Amino acid sequence: MKKLFATGLLLAGIATQASAAFTGSFAPANWFQAPSEGSVNSFTENSLSITSGALGNESFTDVGILFPLTGRITFDWDYSTSDGDGPAFDPFGVTIFDPFFLFTPATDPAGANQQSGSFELFIDGGTIFAFTAWSTDGFGGSATTRISNFNFQRIPEPGTLALLAIALAAAGASRRRRQA
């Protein structure tokens, strides 16, 4: 029975694979970059740095990807703005395109010009996700955000979990019959 339990744990581990950093399916080459009036300063397997625009127009600087699997994203972010009006005019957050865009801010619009935090999001496979530096007015300076400790934890589809449960139950029943 211990071997059966260990096999179940191994299969469950395979079913919930994690990707740490921007590697594998999430390597920088797999992301699209739409810097608009801002810029993508650097993108390595360990971090991403993006800056919002400051050329007098509203603009979105996006770095996105079509998510291949359903799962949970976590990452840390460090934000700094030189905008004299504060972070309300240069928010950082994430955008989901499914089929319309939904921007979710990570920064506090009434907060300090330097902020940091962690972000967690559940996402469905087939959804376009982007890190977004949004300049709402394009005046007063830009904001730069560094994203690090990116992690993706796959959440298996319910059908996968059901098949795993059936296989483990069948293996347990077979083992009991052999012992009888």
Output 171-179 pairs: Cβ under 8 A, ≥24 positions apart.
171/4, 171/7, 172/1, 172/4, 175/1, 175/4
What's the CA gap between 112 and 81, in Å, rounded?
Answer: 9
pLDDT at position 154 is 93
Q: Residue 11 falls within a domain, yes or no? A: no
pTM of the model: 0.78
Query: Percentage of the chain with pLDDT > 90?
Result: 64
Give the CATH number for residue 125. Answer: 2.60.120
Q: What is the DSSP letter of 91?
A: -
According to DSSP H, which parts of the chain are helical?
Answer: 2-15, 158-179
**How many independent structural domains does the chain possess?**
1
Of 175 and 10, which is predicted with more confidence?
Answer: 175
CB 63 within 8 A of CB 50: yes
Write the CA distances from 89 to 3, 59, 118, integer angstroms. 58, 11, 21
Write the CA distances from 59 to 40, 54, 109, integer angstroms. 14, 9, 17
The answer to which of 91-95, 106-110, 168-172 has the lowest mean pLDDT is: 168-172
Task: State whether residue 165 is helix, strand or coil.
Answer: helix
What's the CA gap between 64 and 67, in Å, rounded?
Answer: 9
pLDDT at position 31 is 97
Q: Which domain holds residue 33?
A: 16-179
Q: Is the dihedral of CA 106, 128, 149, 43 positive or negative?
A: negative
Q: Residue 10 falls within a domain, yes or no? A: no
Q: Residue 153 falls within a domain, yes or no? A: yes
Query: Mean pLDDT over residues 32-46, rounded?
Result: 93
